[in-house]
Chain A
């Protein structure tokens, strides 16, 4: 069928959420509600040392005094924090040495997601630490990593086995007081990943974690801590899919990256949580705090492809503390139907000769609202700081919105800050042109969207790029005609 405005609208209605199924694995779930006892119980359940319990309790005290932020450009019904269960773990406790020992139903789930462990194993150089409902249930490639002295494990294991590292770094980039959701996460985080790359080591494989929210009504509070010691390098991948569900699911993760002198961290995310139905019912609330700190000559790159969640509130940021450090942010955010996203980054230039690059691509369709919010801050001692920001929006149809909220604060005269922004719309002419060359409308939209997002997709590791490209297509395709 050829294209008209009316048809484009029809066409952008979401396909049924592809990964909407539910795995029935018996769970060990806490009753709903949150108080000091629950915080202590989580800590106990994780067999944590006392300092960790106290750290959580401090965070809980802080959180109780805080209010949910109102400034994002999103509207949603505030979650009832007493109506959430704060801990849920798959019943299968022991960790496995091989895939044969893993619950077949779980493996089946991953197979249906098209991310089977078998496949993952075959993908050269990818170690997988799967987080399903908060507890890691399978870890592979650990030995290879161990040979290099790399630690890659669940945060719970790290607290038990490497307390000195966790204690030294947790909360140093995102303190408990940082914001409402970070404080909540600090109090109740159930699991997540920990990664430490020793001095001078180049991590030989992409480290990757698949997150999944699986229990009805369980919020997920992941905590990730990546420490790259001096002159080390690591590329970390995070990807998510979730079962389709009617009620809202809260997700408030915290990710902290620490790049010591001369270290480099690449952190890539493909996020595909349930965005709600096309009528705007249900979907995941994704309120995430991600931040990294760069010491001297260090570099942190955030790359994200965000296609899911009903409401997204997320600003992966870099504190460029050390001289000559570099921060990068590459983002594609897609919103369709009634999704809302308020996402962007903060680049805080503190050291001399620090550089940052921001490339943000927002794609809005349906009745969705897509906002870019970015802060470029140059401190008074940050001589010769440089920033380049590019912020492009692509609109599909007439009922969606794209917004940009760029903030620039420069306290040093030598700073050079560039900001470019464009807004375009997929036009009937573009579609007709493709149609005339034999390309149908659905394929044409995929082609145009992938072209628009190319600069960011190119930054993703190979094995992730294809998946991301597919996700973009799935998110925007609809039944044609």
Chain B
């Protein structure tokens, strides 16, 4: 589904990604771990198409089609979803209105008609129940005055509504207490299918107890320095990242 080959990217001339190779197939869950500043969030932003970052080498393809020329919204229409580490506030725009706009813009791009009000309501009800979201929450302004947990839950709710092919969860676990983490993880697990894929970006192995990855990759200085299965995460928890510094690995 997603194939990243020798990806180099920089911001204001500073190289952050330094030759990433990663293949994610449908039905898989990949975890990307690594210390602060290793390039995890940059990788997520580059896949989503944030233009601050300049791709200098390599390419990203989705379903064998290069994303290079596609704008962020076009990538979204193709099924890329990024759950933000710091979701922004949009005062005066309700969660419902925002999600409705997002769904209909994607449908428009695919040549479909707008979703009927009835279908939309049904979908809203179904997905909010799935994630244990109070209906009142849906009429609040997007992320305005939301707690950290509410913001993250709202991201997962949008993911549930948009049903993306590829979901990238950027530090979705940070700022969540254990109950919220369980709810969010539960949601992700329920939404997971053989047709979609998930990339989890996280610092800690804690999240991986709830969402079990098929593969774990360690990012260090803009490069994947080690890949393995879920046991790698446990090893990292125990030993930290130092033993994986490139010179040690060699």
Contact = CB atoms under 8 A, between A and B. Distances in A.
Interface of A: 1-4, 427-430, 432-440, 443, 447-448, 450-455
Nearest to B72: A435
A438 B91 contact: no
B93 interface: yes
Contacts of B109: 438
Contacts of A428: 52
Contacts of A450: 92-93
Contact of A437 (B49, B50, B71, B102): B102
A438 B106 contact: yes
Interface in B45-102: 48-52, 71-73, 75-77, 80-82, 84, 87-88, 90-93, 97-98, 101-102
Contacts of B84: 433, 436
29 contacts: A1-B71, A2-B51, A4-B52, A428-B52, A430-B88, A430-B90, A432-B50, A436-B48, A436-B49, A436-B73, A436-B75, A436-B76, A436-B84, A437-B98, A438-B73, A438-B106, A438-B162, A439-B73, A440-B71, A440-B105, A443-B105, A447-B97, A447-B98, A447-B101, A451-B90, A451-B92, A452-B92, A454-B93, A455-B92
B91 A452 contact: yes
Contacts of A440: 71, 73, 105
B92 A453 contact: yes
Contact of B82 (A3, A436, A454): A436
Contacts of A3: 51
Interface string B132-147: 0000000001100000
Contacts of A433: 84, 87-88, 90
Contacts of B97: 447
A451 B98 CA distance: 10
A440 B101 CA distance: 10
- Closest 5 A-B residue pairs measured CB to CB? A451-B92, A451-B93, A438-B76, A435-B72, A454-B92
Instruction: Find the residue from A434, A435, A436 having the highest chain B CB count within 10 A.
Output: A436
Contacts of B196: none
Contacts of A439: 73, 101-102, 105
A435 B98 contact: no
A253 to B, nearest CB: 30
A477 B100 CA distance: 21
A455 B92 CA distance: 8
A42 B20 CA distance: 79
A136 to B, nearest CB: 38
Interface residues of B, number: 32
Nearest to A439: B105
B158 interface: yes
A447 B87 CA distance: 16
B139 to A, nearest CB: 12
A440 to B, nearest CB: 5
Nearest to B102: A437
Interface of B: 48-52, 71-73, 75-77, 80-82, 84, 87-88, 90-93, 97-98, 101-102, 105-106, 109, 141-142, 158, 162
Contact of B50 (A1, A2, A434): A2
B102 A4 contact: no
A435 B75 CA distance: 9
Contacts of A436: 48-49, 72-73, 75-76, 80-82, 84
Q: A3, A428, A435 — which one has the most chain B CB atoms within 10 A of its CB? A: A435
Contacts of A430: 88, 90
Given A1-B71, A2-B49, A443-B105, A437 B88 contact: no
Count chain B CB atoms within 10 A of each CB in A427, A435, A438, A454 and give the residue with the most: A438
A2 B106 contact: no
Given A432-B50, A433-B87, A438 B93 contact: no
Contacts of B73: 2, 435-436, 438-440
A145 to B, nearest CB: 36
Given A439-B101, A452-B92, 9 more contacts: A2-B51, A429-B88, A435-B76, A436-B48, A436-B73, A436-B75, A448-B93, A451-B92, A454-B93
B71 A438 contact: no
A2 B90 contact: no
A443 B77 CA distance: 15
A454 B93 CA distance: 8
B56 to A, nearest CB: 18
Contacts of A435: 49, 71-73, 76
A447 to B, nearest CB: 6
B158 A448 contact: no
A99 to B, nearest CB: 34
A385 B208 CA distance: 60
B72 to A, nearest CB: 4
A450 B80 CA distance: 27
B193 to A, nearest CB: 20
Contacts of B162: 437-438
A316 B109 CA distance: 44
A188 B141 CA distance: 48
Contacts of B102: 434, 437-439
A421 B149 CA distance: 28
B140 to A, nearest CB: 12
Contact of B76 (A427, A437, A448): A437
Nearest to B141: A451
A436 B170 CA distance: 13
Contacts of B81: 436
A294 B50 CA distance: 54
Contacts of A443: 101, 105
A426 to B, nearest CB: 10
A432 to B, nearest CB: 6
B71 to A, nearest CB: 5
A299 B175 CA distance: 48
A437 B97 CA distance: 13
Contacts of B80: 436
B60 to A, nearest CB: 15
B101 A451 contact: no
Contacts of B141: 451
